Amino acid sequence: MSDEKELDLIKDCQNGKLESFEKLYDTYFQKIYNFIFFRTSHKETSEDLTSLTFIKALEGINDFKLDYGFFSSWLYKIARNNVIDYYRSKKSIDNIDDHENLKSDTNLESEIDIKYKLDKVEKYIKDLKPEQKEILIMRLWDQLSYREISKIVGKSEENCKVIFSRSLKSIKEQSIFALLLILLKIIK
């Protein structure tokens, strides 16, 4: 979708034509879901947080400033805040009885495989500062531009580039294989 068409849809939503939000939803649903899933590694949680993200975006569409920048950056920021809130409110110990009715369509094998790959990559990036991890993940796995990342994390584009570069350098010092693994995005 072109930037111009996206801005027209946002203006329509702000003028009360909320059916235009459906096109924005269709454009960004999978990207936001993937962004959240990478951070939670849990299908149902990701679905819930993705829904919450779009509900908050629809409720706050009038707060979106057209000169703010990308709608996607604003949406990712909402998703990021939802993930942060989720982990803040999550109990450290879950009761197994609360999970007795697992959905039958859950693909446990696939979720376990994804979790294993994420754990493998996490081993290589564990020594990075949280800010470095976040920018690295947004740049490589979420495939966001530095401009989008800067809007989400509240730093300049140049600062995001420096943080990203230093993160890669740190990983390279650990292992050239780790750097290749991360750059080739083998976890896909």
Total domains in the fold of the chain:
2
**Would residue 98 count as lying in a domain?**
no
Burial of 111 (0-12, 13-18, 19+ CB in 10 A): middle
Q: In this structure, is residue 30 part of a structural domain? A: yes
> Does 71 lie in the same domain as 7?
yes
CA distances to 20, 22, 73 from 15, in Å: 10, 15, 21
End position of a domain, from candidates 32, 57, 89 = 89
DSSP notation for 123-140 = HHHTTS-HHHHHHHHHHH
Residue 100 lies in a domain: no
Q: How many CB atoms lie within 10 A of CB 162?
A: 13
Beta strands in the chain (DSSP E): none
Same domain membership, residue 22 and residue 59: yes
The verdict on 142 and 177 lying in the same domain is: yes
pLDDT per residue as tens digits for the range 27-55: 999 999 988 988 888 889 999 999 999 99
Report yes or no on 76 lying in a domain: yes
- Note whether residue 144 is domain-resident: yes
Label residues 29-51 b or e (16+ Cβ within 10 Å = b): eebbbebbbbbbebbebbeebbe
Q: How remote is the C-alpha of 89 from its chain's centroid?
A: 18
Residue at a domain's end among 38, 55, 89: 89
- pLDDT tens digits, 91-145: 654 544 444 444 444 455 555 555 555 555 566 677 788 888 888 888 877 888 8
Give the global pTM: 0.63
